[in-house]
Amino acid sequence: MSLLQVKDVTHAYASSTLFWQSKRHAPVLSGVSLTIEPGKCLGLLGTSGAGKSTLGKVILGLEKPQKGQVLFQGMNLYDTDASARRRLRRDLQVVFQDCYSSVNPRMTAEQIIGEPLQNYESLSSKEQKRTVGELLERVGLNADDMTKHPHQFSGGQLQRINIARAIALKPKLIVLDEAVSSLDMVTQSHILALLSDLKSTYGLSYLFITHDIKAAYSISDALAVMEKGEVVEFCEDKAQFLQS
């Protein structure tokens, strides 16, 4: 069974925040279908405004589409009760492009990485500290970095912290939305190597959203291209992509 199936999804953003008005903008996703297999990375390519981030949000359960289905491990993401959604939510994690704005500047690395553990696991503070230390080492940082604040890290180090937070609950799928795009080339290749390593060790799946075909090609197994809200190309094997 596919880990994720997006079936014929159409979505338009609400144009009014007034709840009694149901006006919507033109659709930004039209009839989108794709699949992600367990342990595989799907690279999602397309120019800015194509609808990639919106599709990412739909897959994370953050934007309910007007039409179509999102099946995660066979379960309909938008048609489950609250407790099932909470379970699904921990299996679905995200890392965004802007590593500084996705963390609270007043929190320490320990608090940032420990937050999902705190929300979902009932660990003693000693166990939690040990787990955070292991996670820091797993992403190539040091347990001594625990007490540092975001401004004390480089962009690449902070993205490692975001990755540590994303894997803390051992998720099945991570949406990486332009997660390496603002890093320099060398740092980018280090983070891509870390992501590939985590993927092969833990059988993680990724949706790797990017406008950068080289980065997508290097990490992905499958590739999809979006244009103006539609998936115009979907190759389950990236080798087919070069031939098309």
Interacting residue ranges for ligand ADP, rule: CB under 6 A: 13, 25, 28, 46, 48-54, 131, 134-135, 138, 167-168, 170, 202, 204
Q: How far is the CB of 50 from ligand ADP (least distance, A)?
A: 4
Comparing CB distances to ligand ADP, the nearer of 96 and 202 is 202
What is the SS3 assignment for 148? coil
Among 5, 11, 63, 66, smallest CA distance to 34 is for 5
Residue 146 Cβ vs ligand ADP, minimum distance, rounded to whole Å: 13
CB of 167 to ligand ADP, least distance (A): 4
- What is the rounded distance in angstroms from the CA atom of residue 214 to the CA atom of residue 209? 12
Q: Which is nearer to ligand ADP, 131 or 196 (CB)?
A: 131
Least Å from the CB of residue 28 to ligand ADP? 4
Q: Which of 202, 243 has the CB closer to ligand ADP? A: 202
Token reading at 45: 């390519």
Which region, left, alpha or beta, applies to residue 8 given φ > 0 means left and ψ of -120 to 50 means alpha?
left
Would you say 29 or 192 has its CB closer to ligand ADP? Answer: 29
Bridge partner list, 70: 6
User: What CA–CA distance (Å, rounded) separates 13 from 9?
Assistant: 13
